[in-house]
A and B are shown apart, each in its own frame.
Chain A
Amino acid sequence: MTENTASRMAIIAAHGTLDAAYPPLIVGTTAAALEMEVAIFFTFYGLEMLKKGKIDKLQVAPIANPAMPMPVPNIIGMLPGMTAMATMMMNNMMKKDNVSKLSELLDAALEMNIRLIACQMTMGVMGVKKEDLIDGIEVGGAATFVEFASHNAIALAF
């Protein structure tokens, strides 16, 4: 413990799909459990994760996604209902393997005092109001996040 190790982690969450929402929350809560100070900056579609009642309703689309467990040709993936079906399949797989729900990880992040920063600029662009978002978060700009990260943080973008 005498070596000079990073004590902060700064994470950007920019996507609002089911699969993309897991990594920032898993890595962030784990860093907090490893006694690091953590901030997650939610920008663009990443804001979806902070909307009230939204996080467990995020979806995964089979279209243009050849890595799906059961790959779906794009011409089929574009049909109505295919995104809902792929989402249901993914949720069932997660549940079967007892992976935590996204809301549980978000609650853990709040409990561990991770700074959850909603991007002011994208809130404006997308018409998202502070009251649309869950309690316990802060609203800030890139400088808020970068200042936090500038103190020797490991920085990750998802």
Chain B
Amino acid sequence: MSEKFDQTLDCSGLNCPMPILKTKKAVDGMQVGQVLKMIATDPGSVPDINAWTNKTGHELLSHEQDGDKYIFYVKKTK
């Protein structure tokens, strides 16, 4: 399953808290309704992206795993 997206952010190799900080910065620069594809290798990013979307209200459309990569599709909601 893959989503349509407007922008890609590669956080491969980065460790906590950088994937979240960079995701926040990327989403800040996007338009409401746009989708960010974020790629991370930190396994902690799976619970952390969920926590981040829960708190901020942005929407995690889906996430998938490809080898050692975790891929998230985040929709900017506000």
Q: Which residues of A approach B to under 8 Å, CB–CB? A: 1, 5, 26, 29-30, 32-35, 97-100, 105, 108, 112
Contact = CB atoms under 8 A, between A and B. Distances in A.
Interface residues of B, number: 15
A29 B23 CA distance: 12
B52 to A, nearest CB: 6
Nearest to A104: B18
Interface in B25-78: 51-52, 55-57
A105 B22 CA distance: 12
Contacts of B55: 5, 34-35
Contacts, number: 36
B56 A100 contact: no
22 contacts: A5-B55, A26-B17, A30-B20, A30-B21, A32-B24, A33-B21, A33-B24, A33-B52, A34-B20, A34-B55, A34-B56, A35-B24, A35-B55, A35-B56, A98-B13, A98-B15, A99-B15, A100-B14, A100-B15, A100-B17, A100-B18, A112-B21
